[in-house]
Amino acid sequence: MMASWRDQKNGARLTLHKTFKVDGFYFAAKGTLGLPVTVRPHLKWDAVGQLKEVAGYAEVQSIKPKIVFLRSEVAPVNNALVYLAADEIYRVNNVLPVDGITVTAEVVRLTAKQIADPWQDGSQLQFPEEV
């Protein structure tokens, strides 16, 4: 039996995810243990404004960082943290609708000051090897 179009699309998405994944930890809330996850950060600049495609006019660019999760690994929630490196932590700002085997979240990168106190109460992130 031939796989459905949806199955083929999900298979392609899984291959894409495995190819471009970044290992990290997902923290659903303060006091939770970091869950190992693989994610795909999308950290590109987008031109905004009505004249974004007209040559010769000034453009404004805006970064719209997003992270793509596999639904089989985690169901992201707003205000969760995603740790990719000691100097690269993101707060989930808005979870977008599910799209096949993935779910994308709009995120905000924490500043160095926020990384020093990610939950804003003095508590630190807890990683599995620390338990």
What pLDDT is attached to residue 39?
98
What pLDDT is attached to residue 45?
67
Poorest-pLDDT segment among 47-56, 93-102, 107-116: 47-56
Each residue's pLDDT tens digit, 55-77: 555 566 677 899 999 999 999 99
- Buried b / exposed e over 68-104, threshold 16 CB at 10 Å, is bbbeebbebeeebbbbbeeeebbbbeebeeeeebbbb
Which 8-state DSSP code applies to residue 16? H
Q: How confident is the model at residue 131 (pLDDT cuts 50, 70, 90)?
A: very low
Q: Taking the complete model, does pTM exceed 0.75, yes or no?
A: yes
Q: Give the bridge partners for 33, in sequence order.
A: 126
